[in-house]
Amino acid sequence: MSAQENTEVTAAELGHVHLLGIGGVGVSAVARLLLAQGLSVSGTDAKDVPVLEQLRAAGATVWVGFDAEHAHGADTVVLSSVIREDNPELVAARAAGARVLHRSQALAALMNGRVGITVAGTHGKTTTSSMTAVMLRHAGLAPTFAIGAAVPALGTNAELGTGSAFVAEADESDGSFLNYRPFIGIITNVEADHLDHYGTAEAVHAAFDDYAALLPADGLLVACADDAGAAAAARHASDRAGSSRVLTYGFSEAAQIRLSDPVHEGTGVIARLRDADGSEHRLSLQVPGEHNLLDAAAAYAVGRELGLSAEQALAGLAVFGGAARRFEARGTARGVRVYDDYAHHPTEVAAALRAARDVAGEGRVHVLFQPHLFSRTRDFAAEFGEALSLADTVWLLPIYAAREEPIPGVSSQLVADAVTVPHRIVTAQDAAALVAAQAAEGDLVMTLGAGDVTTQGARILSVLEGAA
């Protein structure tokens, strides 16, 4: 196994790096790694968020509020897709002739010369990459990693390790996952999403085929056999001349690493795992849901490829306690448990609520959901309604616009019309009190969505505590 060489820019060529939107989880991860490499780093964010002080303490010069002067002297500017072309710092940097890189291109430069492990898929990227990094670190391999969420077991979302492995999420939302040149590529699943970028489901699937084609002939594609899209990408890769090796995982009988007999225990889950060599093992996780078992099986495959014994890989996965906003426990009040999850696609919502059912036991499940993006709500309103109907009661916030402008006729009402259990559209101001009033001892409340619904968990707990 050899480190991958990227023919694009290398870290040594970046010079002074200025990062736009440096407070974002993805861009801040790049900043942490650049600082650890000893590079000169500065950056700007629109808001003063806690991570900015951490980056300052690590040696970065950081501003709040964009101003063209901040980009003065930058050799390279790094940004994410949310930065607009008319951003004054970007305009100034381009005028001065600075190199402009997408966040993924900067990560690819840092990955150069290491064994790249990138995790792609419509769902599960953060959990799978987190599990992989935790497992490798637990085994003493000291990986470098860049993850789209804080991971308690790691203490951070990014770290420059002394080992050869580099674990990173490969975000398909804007096509930037094609900027990497990994040695191991994971595809957790492939579904229609981000149609504002791709236009059609067929284009989404084609992009994942292109991702698989990036792997070298001696590399490895790890794909979920249970998911039709991932399985198709695996078949296409196997049929392609000069393609990498392919290893599948899942509950399917066709999977080379096969899961079976899942049993939910409290907030965790266990299952049997049959390795590709036919050996049988017990996979035990601290997090709930069969979707987490699948993510763990993908991470296990990576560990085995990198030389870990089955016992080493399983021991590392057993210490994984979750990632921020992935079925994250926010607290308990009056016997009501409150969890928060980033789920913002119908498949993710359904997986989160099935896991909530397992954890709730005899209790009811109440969900406060905030649709993310007008285009996604328009395209999947019926599917969201079906997924949310796995709960006992559904509360809907207005759509979180993120990068989009409103679309006439598109609102949370489209989702509400498809929900088949008791439901109501509420404002952010009223949501906590209304949800808390419905919850009783033994129940479970979930806040779901990729927007600011994450702030509602603390408010719900506060209302519950005040009513005690």
| Residues assigned a catalytic role | 125-126, 169
Please report which residue ranges of 262-409 form alpha helices under DSSP H.
Answer: 290-305, 310-318, 346-360, 374-388
* C-alpha–C-alpha distance, residues 225 and 459, integer Å: 40
Mutual angle of helices 290-305 and 125-138, in 10-degree steps: 50
DSSP, res 372: B
* C-alpha–C-alpha distance, residues 204 and 75, integer Å: 34
* C-alpha–C-alpha distance, residues 266 and 31, integer Å: 38
> Which segments within 68-208 are labelled E, that is strand?
76-79, 99-102, 115-120, 144-151, 156-159, 165-169, 184-187
Closest C-alpha to 289, from 324, 320, 263, 251: 263
Are 393 and 445 a contacting pair, CB within 8 Å? Answer: no
Please give the helix or strand (H or E) that residue 435 lies within, else none.
helix 431-438
Are 349 and 382 a contacting pair, CB within 8 Å? Answer: no
Compute CA distances 100 → 28, 105, 266, whole Å: 17, 9, 48
Report phi then psi at 103, rounded to 5.
-50, -40
What does R_g of the chain's alpha carbons equal in angstroms?
Answer: 22
